[in-house]
Every structure is written in C-alpha cells, then in structure tokens.
Amino acid sequence: MLANVLSNAVKHSPAGGAIDLCCGAREMDGKTFVEIAVADHGIGMQPDQIARVSERFYRADTSGNIPGTGLGMTIVKEIVELHGGGFTVDSTIGAGTTVVLWIPAVDITLMAGIPQPLTNRDTEGAAATSQ
C-alpha cells in the first residue's frame, strides 16, 4: 500500500520534485496506530476528485497522460481497512497532495513466536558450520 501511494506521488510530481515521507504514532479512541504520511508538491486535486479517489477505475481529470488503471487507491483503501485502519487525502491544485495512512500498531512482544527473516550473519554462520 505504501508503494502505491509513493508511486502516485512520484507520477504526479514534476521531474526532480521532492516527496516527503513521515512516520509516527497516532492515538485514536484509546488505541495506538502507526501513521505514515506521503506528501508531494505536484499537480494536486480538486475536492470532488478527492471524494472519488478510492472509487474503482476512477482517474482524476488532472492526471492527463499519466499512466495508471485507477485501481491503486481502491486497493490501498481495502488493505488499510482490512487491517483496521484508514486514510485521508488532502490536496490543493498546483500545490500537491498529502495522503495519510494509519494502521493499528502491534505490540512486538506478541510477535515472539513469528519466524524472523534471516540476516547475512545468520546465513554466514550456517555456511561456516556446514563446511
């Protein structure tokens, strides 16, 4: 989902334009959420376009010749909502767009039984002992 939002920011920004990425925690209704904000300084959208951004196959008129299917933000919406989160879009024509995603934070102590990915150190040690 983050890759899609970042891809949109790049596609709708001028060449060499800055993309801002911020991450933090947000408290809502007594729960902690991970919040990720992506802001571009691109073409922006009008309020009626923002209201439709998560509709299947919707593409804003301002998108012009920018490639896309109109499914990206629909998929983002479905993923964040399936995880118990949400998102907002704030945009101004000619100034850019900010998308804020939030999903529930997970207590990492609850992840103790979940296998973790191998690191280079893990694989180097295994190679040395198998020789």
| Whole-model pTM over 0.75 | no
CATH 1.10.3720.10: does it fit domain 2-129? no
**Full 3-state SS string of the chain:** CHHHHHHHHHHCCCCCCCEEEEEEEEEECCEEEEEEEEEECCCCCCHHHHHCCCCCCCCCHHHCCCCCCCCHHHHHHHHHHHCCCEEEEEEECCCEEEEEEEEECCCHHHHCCCCCCCCHHHHHHHHHHCC
45-77 confidence digits (pLDDT tens)? 888 887 777 766 556 655 556 655 556 688 888
13-51 confidence digits (pLDDT tens)? 888 889 999 999 989 989 999 999 999 998 888 888 877
Give the start-to-end residue ranges of the domains of the chain. Answer: 2-129
